[in-house]
Amino acid sequence: MTTSMTVPDRFGRPLRSLRISVTDRCNLRCQYCMPEPDYAWLPKDTLLTFEEIVGITDAFCDLGVNRVRITGGEPLLRRDLTALIASLAARPRIHDLALTTNGVLLATQAAALKAAGLHRITVSLDTLDRRRFRDITRFDSLDAVLDGIAAAAAAGFAPIKIDTVVMRGVNDHELPALLEYARPLGAEVRFIEYMDVGGATQWSPHAVVSRRDILAALEQSYGPIVALDERTSAPADRFALPDGRIFGVISSTTEPFCDSCDRSRLTADGMWLMCLYARAGTDLRRPLRAGASDEELRRLIATVWRSRADRGAEERIGFAAREPLIPVSALKKDAHLEMHTRGG
């Protein structure tokens, strides 16, 4: 199939953006994502091969997907990742091919990722303070991450995006410092509200710094901030500082944007999820390995998307006593409920 089409879900949202997790393993243990002492991992033999990932991606592109983001776990832990990037980059229907990484292994891989055809890189970075980095991530890897970001800039990724989860009393005083760090790199910082997703077992409403509070804090440091008038399906709303510098805020917790959500997620073992807050997904690995034809795979994907009515983040707003989405006991029984399996 060469032409791409639009498959609307029950609210008319098109299938456009696919986030592909290539591993559930991570080399950090961020308190807001993987705070537990141990985890249940996806069995190795269930992980999709690159050939399987590309085959599934082609089926999605047949149905209108034109943006792909590689994520994890930590995607740079997946051996030979550049081979997958090169295959995906060779597909002209993918207009936007991006990668989200914690940056720890980026210094040695940035140039190869660029050469393989990756379009864009987002690096997660929550603090510039070494001790705080260790407290948040449980690893002493800040220097490696900063080297990775520098290597990505040197390799020609521009603009790099820097994603910061803002937590009250942890890093909420560092927002201007992060913007100043990003300035000479030409990087765009996006401040993310702390989300009560699966895996965030330490989450509490008190720890969330809302979009409103983020903007108020930055206005105190910089003066009036202007909201950019953009209508996109991107998760970040973008703003300009008085000097014209742009930054973003992803307000999934207090001001969600489900009505424009065209994203879905594929876990490393082929579970397809409609929403970060979903309790269950559709197993695409099983039919694929049972010999489903391209047409059968497309039909399955289109049928599931057409019946999609998820508005997970908006529904969470309605809960009076909001607390972590999934209890630890349930996470231990099903790794698919974890944010580090879903990829963010």
Q: Which residues bind ligand SAM (CB under 6 A)?
A: 26, 32-33, 71-72, 74, 100-102, 124, 163, 165, 192, 194-195, 197, 200, 339-340, 343-344
Report the candidate in 45, 8, 29, 101 with the shortest Cα–Cα distance to residue 270. Answer: 45
Is 100 or 109 the residue whose CB approaches ligand SAM more closely? Answer: 100
Q: Minimum CB separation from ligand SAM for residue 100, in Å?
A: 4
Is 73 or 270 the residue whose CB approaches ligand SAM more closely? Answer: 73
Report the candidate in 42, 206, 22, 205 with the shortest Cα–Cα distance to residue 100. Answer: 22
Is 301 or 331 the residue whose CB approaches ligand SAM more closely? Answer: 331
Is 263 or 340 the residue whose CB approaches ligand SAM more closely? Answer: 340
Is 81 or 304 the residue whose CB approaches ligand SAM more closely? Answer: 81
Q: Minimum CB separation from ligand SAM for residue 301, in Å?
A: 23
Q: Minimum CB separation from ligand SAM for residue 197, in Å?
A: 5
Q: Minimum CB separation from ligand SAM for residue 272, in Å?
A: 17
Rounded Cα distance, 288 and 272, in Å: 13
Report the candidate in 120, 129, 191, 194 with the shortest Cα–Cα distance to residue 162. Answer: 191
Rounded Cα distance, 66 and 267, in Å: 18
**Chain residue at closest Cβ approach to ligand SAM:** 344
Q: Minimum CB separation from ligand SAM for residue 120, in Å?
A: 13
Rounded Cα distance, 309 and 313, in Å: 12
Q: Residue 193 is encoded by which pair of tokens?
A: 């509200």
Q: Minimum CB separation from ligand SAM for residue 2, in Å?
A: 32
Is 81 or 301 the residue whose CB approaches ligand SAM more closely? Answer: 81
Which alpha helices (DSSP H) does 94-250 contain, by range?
106-116, 130-137, 142-154, 175-182, 211-222
Q: Residue 112 is encoded by which pair of tokens?
A: 């190869």
Cβ(81)–Cβ(75) below 8 Å = yes
The total of other beta-carbon atoms located within 10 Å of residue 128's CB is 16
